[in-house]
Structure 1
């Protein structure tokens, strides 16, 4: 039983190292397009797409292998003449709305849009109640 536990702990510790594959990076993962206009379009689009592995970084900023593959896909499609909107739509169809930092309004994303507003309103109400003075309380010592 103890050996199984040690093996399990060893696998859990080694998991992050094993998660990065031995597959070499795709050609356009770290290479810019020769056309500066196309590269600017690709870069602007990559800044708006979420890394599906990191989830907190854009594919432009992430070093994850999947982000590199997505950067290469964006550059390949831009180089082939597709517009950034077409590439974005293709990625959304493939990976879902979560791939974008700006998901469209739908019944699934309503909580994402309304929660910050609700929290702001709750914060304002709490602050208003905390800072409002009650009758007879001045917060200062009495003068005699």
Structure 2
């Protein structure tokens, strides 16, 4: 194997993204079905400390507490929706990595589009009004005579 190929393989292995699951063995539920549900829910919840990781991927203490809370609620028989509603009621919509569709999220995502459209419409209206306006004042009789004199030459 040539040296360049070896170097590329080594660099790839060094910089390849490694998924670091933060779920500790003592957190794992004995029932595999419940554990799969807990993992799926944990992947939907944001770590409030890291803010760009799910609680399943985070090593923060708060993420661990939330993973344990999810597993506790699932073990108590709560549905997935009930678990999510409980956590959202405590931490707000921000805890969800994929926010639910509501009036607030529609306004949040739709406001920039509406502002751009309103700006475009106002520019069109303003441009149309300006095309009909005269650009200057009428020439005085002296200016008109001077212009006629210059044009006749």
Normalised to the residue count of structure 1, the TM-score between the two structures is 0.56
TM-superposed deviation, 1:35? 0.4
**1:87 matched to 2:83:** yes
Residues 56-109 of structure 1: per-residue CA shift (max 9 Å, x gap):
000000001000000000001111111111100101111111111121233332
**1:62 matched to 2:63:** no
**1:107 matched to 2:116:** no
Contact 1:29 1:69 in 2 (8 A): no
Query: Please, which moves more after superposition, 84-93 or 99-108?
Result: 99-108
Alignment of 1:1-144 (within 5 A): 30-114=26-110, 118=113
Separation in 2, partners of 1:29, 1:73: 16
Normalised to the residue count of structure 2, the TM-score between the two structures is 0.53
Separation in 1, partners of 2:36, 2:89: 23
TM-superposed deviation, 1:47? 0.3
Partner of 1:134: none
More helix by share: 2
The alignment yields a C-alpha RMSD, in angstroms, of 2.4
Contact 1:29 1:71 in 2 (8 A): no
Cα 1:80–1:29 shift into 2, 3 Å: farther
Gaps of 5+ in 2: 1-23, 117-153
Separation in 1, partners of 2:73, 2:49: 22
SS in 1 for 2:59: coil
Q: Which has the higher relative contact order, 1 or 2, with Cα contacts under 8 A spaced 6 or more apart?
A: 1
